[in-house]
């Protein structure tokens, strides 16, 4: 068992988050505990509680790292010179692929049991907003005349639809036929953008 003096507070916090991520990749969220995280770090549970208020607090910071990683994945190969529709499709496909690759981390972002036990600080809400902004900026390119309220509502509607495809692809056993998530995403974006571009201006 390591001694706390061997690492700084910031190093310990980083170790705790990395341990939680590794465990999430190995198991489902309900099975995760502070005892397991501490053991993965090589420290006591007492040390862990000196770093974070409780498990939900620690998991909120895990979510923050997941959001950063997700945004990084979405921005890979992003090219502002490409048509807005292509960029939206790229973001959507990146989101779906991320949800499949990091299932437990992705599900944790939307876990109500965790979210209800900890207050979401402003910096966290801004991170969530930054993800939605990726879509909003491309929708604005397609409809420069649209106001902020219209863009925000449409962004949430489109992202909710993409999220639905993620959920479907992760629950293949529910459906009789295998879901082609890439084909669904391309069809969704194509039809959604078409409707957005030619929507009656108010």
Other C-beta atoms closer than 10 Å to the C-beta of 43 total 23
Give the integer Cα–Cα distance in Å for 156 and 42. Answer: 42
- Residue 201's pLDDT is 52
What is the distance, to the nearest Å, from the Cα of residue 166 to the centroid of all Cα atoms in its chain?
A: 11
Q: Spell out the per-residue pLDDT of the chain, length 202, in tens.
A: 555 567 899 999 999 999 999 999 988 777 789 999 999 999 999 999 999 999 999 999 999 999 999 999 999 989 999 999 999 999 999 999 999 899 999 999 998 877 788 888 999 999 999 999 999 999 999 999 999 999 999 999 999 999 998 888 777 654 545 668 888 899 999 999 999 988 755 4
Q: Which two tokens stand for residue 94?
A: 């990146």
> Would you list the domain boundaries of the chain?
1-52, 56-197
Q: Which two tokens stand for residue 127?
A: 């991170």
Q: In whole angstroms, how far apart are CA 142 and each of 33, 78, 94, 138, 145?
A: 46, 17, 21, 7, 9
Q: Is the dihedral of CA 167, 169, 174, 175 positive or negative?
A: positive
DSSP code of residue 52? S
Q: Are 139 and 84 in contact (CB under 8 A)?
A: yes
Q: Which two tokens stand for residue 63?
A: 């979510």
Give the integer Cα–Cα distance in Å for 69 and 99. Answer: 11
- Residue 112's pLDDT is 80
Place of tokens 């939307």: 110
Give the integer Cα–Cα distance in Å for 173 and 68. Answer: 30
Give the integer Cα–Cα distance in Å for 7 and 187. Answer: 51
Fold of 56-197: Tetracycline Repressor; domain 2 (1.10.357)
Give the integer Cα–Cα distance in Å for 144 and 153. Answer: 15
Q: CATH second-level architecture of 1-52? A: Orthogonal Bundle (1.10)
- Residue 176's pLDDT is 45
Q: Which two tokens stand for residue 125?
A: 């809400």
């Amino acid at each position: 068992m390591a001694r706390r003096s061997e690492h700084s507070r910031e190093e310990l916090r980083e170790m705790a988050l990395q341990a939680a991520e590794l465990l999430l990749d190995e198991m489902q969220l309900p099975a995760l505990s502070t005892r397991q995280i501490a053991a993965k770090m090589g420290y006591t549970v007492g040390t862990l509680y000196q770093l974070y208020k409780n498990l939900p607090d620690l998991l909120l910071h895990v979510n923050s790292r997941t959001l950063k990683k997700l945004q990084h994945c979405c921005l890979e190969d992003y090219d502002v010179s490409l048509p807005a529709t292509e960029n939206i499709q790229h973001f959507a496909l990146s989101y779906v692929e991320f949800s499949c690759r990091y299932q437990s981390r992705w599900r944790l972002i939307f876990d109500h049991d965790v979210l209800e036990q900890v207050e979401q600080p402003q910096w966290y809400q801004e991170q969530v907003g930054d993800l939605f902004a990726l879509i909003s900026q491309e929708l604005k390119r397609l409809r420069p005349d649209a106001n902020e309220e219209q863009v925000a509502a449409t962004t949430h509607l489109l992202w909710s639809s993409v999220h639905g495809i993620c959920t479907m692809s992760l629950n293949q056993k529910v459906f009789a036929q295998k879901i082609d998530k890439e084909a669904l995403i391309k069809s969704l974006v194509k039809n959604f953008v078409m409707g957005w571009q030619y929507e009656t201006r108010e």
